[in-house]
């Protein structure tokens, strides 16, 4: 299989794994079971790798990964997730992780989009503007 | 000689007879000549001898001598003409040489003046070029110094900024407590909502 056909097949498998626009664990399990039965091992490896990357990307698209300094109230995390759900037009759930090196504020990653409202970024921008 | 002797003898014998019988002034004259030893036959022989001698002399001595003399005269005249021509040629050559000398002198003076002018122009050009090069070098040096200064200033400014920000970050990291960080997070949430 060529790389292009592998990518196309992985994309098709990802579409089969979605339920209501969200990755379903049951559907993923069914897809993997069908693949192991129908494909030879030498064809399966690159296809599974591409399928895994697609699933990860899709899961990341549904998560708002929030890095924050200091405590972040659950209500604030939900408010952040609601904001991105509204902006992106799909349901996004919050995943928070504390990182005090950010000094203050938070950085949110949804898929490939990053929104940075941290004090460390402001200080870095200040240093850049001064130099 | 035999013929001449016989002729003289015959003439002498023939002359003796009329002379003895003649008289008058003519006879006296003849007698007078005879007394002086001059008689017709001898005179005739002398005349013939003289004529022969004159002819021989003219033919073999005088005429060649005259020819040579004329040749010498002609050569002298030719020599004179040649000399005059040579003198004229010499004068002309001297005049030409003098003219050439004057022309050469003028030409040399002109060349010398041109050379001086060229040298002066070359010196001026070299001086101007050196001046321009010096100005360019100075300008480049000034530009390089200015660029270095600006670069150093930027480096210093960047380094100072980096140190200030790092220090501020460390100070904030050490001094911010959870309450302050929580307030910052709330402010960020409000900012996101706007």
Chain B touched by A87 (CB under 8 Å)? no
Q: How confident is the model at residue B14 (pLDDT cuts 50, 70, 90)?
A: low
Q: How confident is the model at residue A115 (pLDDT cuts 50, 70, 90)?
A: very high
Structure tokens at B169: 């970050």
Between B13 and B37, the higher pLDDT residue:
B37
Would you call B161 and A130 a contact, using CB atoms and an 8 Å cutoff?
yes
**Mean pLDDT taken over chain A:** 88
Residues of A whose CB is below 8 A from B150: none
Q: How confident is the model at residue B1 (pLDDT cuts 50, 70, 90)?
A: very low
Give tens-digit pLDDT for B140-178: 999 999 999 999 998 888 888 888 888 888 888 888 888
Chain B touched by A68 (CB under 8 Å)? yes
Q: Work out the angle between the directed axes of helices A3-16 and A41-61 (0-180°, nearest 10).
A: 60
pLDDT surpasses 70 at A82:
yes
The domains of chain A are located at 3-60, 64-130
Give chain A's end-to-end CA distance (angstroms, integer): 52
User: How many Å is the maximal CA-CA distance in chain A?
Assistant: 62
Instruction: Look up residue A100 and give its DSSP letter.
Output: G
Residues 6+ apart with CB under 8 A from A103: A69, A118, A119, A120, A123, B169, B172, B173, B176, B181, B184
Q: How confident is the model at residue A83 (pLDDT cuts 50, 70, 90)?
A: very high
- The span from the CA of B18 to the CA of B45, in Å, is 20
Q: How confident is the model at residue A129 (pLDDT cuts 50, 70, 90)?
A: confident
Would you call B161 and A127 a contact, using CB atoms and an 8 Å cutoff?
yes
Would you call B193 and A83 a contact, using CB atoms and an 8 Å cutoff?
yes
Would you call B187 and A105 a contact, using CB atoms and an 8 Å cutoff?
yes
**Mean pLDDT taken over chain B:** 86
Q: How confident is the model at residue B23 (pLDDT cuts 50, 70, 90)?
A: low
Return the percentage of chain A with pLDDT > 70, whole number: 99
Give tens-digit pLDDT for B45-102: 889 999 999 999 999 999 999 999 999 999 999 999 999 999 999 999 999 999 999 9
Nearest to B158 by CA among A56, A66, A73, A124: A124
Residue A36 has phi, psi (to 5 degrees) of -60, -25
Q: How confident is the model at residue A124 (pLDDT cuts 50, 70, 90)?
A: confident
Please tell me the predicted confidence (pLDDT) of residue B5. Answer: 58
Residues of B whose CB is below 8 A from A126: 161, 165
Would you call B176 and A79 a contact, using CB atoms and an 8 Å cutoff?
no
- The span from the CA of A103 to the CA of A112, in Å, is 23
Would you call A117 and B154 a contact, using CB atoms and an 8 Å cutoff?
no
Residues of A whose CB is below 8 A from B186: 73, 76
Give tens-digit pLDDT for B112-124: 999 999 999 999 9
Nearest to A119 by CA among B68, B165, B137: B165
Q: How confident is the model at residue B129 (pLDDT cuts 50, 70, 90)?
A: very high
pLDDT surpasses 80 at A56:
yes
The domains of chain B are located at 2-88, 155-193
């Amino acid at each position: 299989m060529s790389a292009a056909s592998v990518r196309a097949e992985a994309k098709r498998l990802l579409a089969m794994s979605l339920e209501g626009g969200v990755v379903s664990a049951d559907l993923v399990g069914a897809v993997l079971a069908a693949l192991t039965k129908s494909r030879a091992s030498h064809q399966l490896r690159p296809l599974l790798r591409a399928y895994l990357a697609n699933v990860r990307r899709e899961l990341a698209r549904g998560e708002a990964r929030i890095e924050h300094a200091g405590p972040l109230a659950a209500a604030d995390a939900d408010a952040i997730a609601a904001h991105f759900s509204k902006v992106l037009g799909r349901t996004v759930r919050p995943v928070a992780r504390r990182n005090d090196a950010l000094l203050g504020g938070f950085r949110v990653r949804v898929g490939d989009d990053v929104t940075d409202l941290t004090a460390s970024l402001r200080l870095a921008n200040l240093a850049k503007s001064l130099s | 000689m035999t013929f001449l002797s016989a002729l003289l003898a015959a003439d002498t014998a023939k002359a003796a007879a009329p002379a003895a019988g003649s008289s008058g002034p003519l006879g006296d004259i003849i007698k007078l000549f005879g007394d002086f030893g001059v008689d017709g036959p001898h005179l005739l022989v002398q005349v013939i001898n003289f004529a022969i001698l004159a002819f021989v002399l003219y033919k073999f001595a005088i005429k060649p001598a005259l020819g040579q003399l004329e040749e010498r005269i002609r050569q002298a005249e030719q020599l004179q003409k040649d000399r005059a021509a040579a003198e004229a040629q010499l004068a002309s050559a001297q005049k030409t040489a003098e003219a050439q000398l004057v022309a050469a002198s003028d030409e040399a003076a002109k060349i010398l003046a041109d050379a001086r002018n060229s040298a002066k122009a070359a010196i001026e050009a070299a001086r101007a070029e050196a001046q321009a090069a010096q100005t360019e070098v100075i300008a480049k040096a000034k530009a390089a110094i200015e660029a270095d200064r600006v670069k150093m200033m930027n480096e210093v400014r960047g380094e100072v900024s980096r140190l200030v920000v790092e220090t501020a970050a460390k100070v904030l990291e050490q001094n911010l407590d959870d309450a302050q960080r929580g307030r910052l997070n709330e402010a960020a949430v409000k900012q996101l909502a706007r």
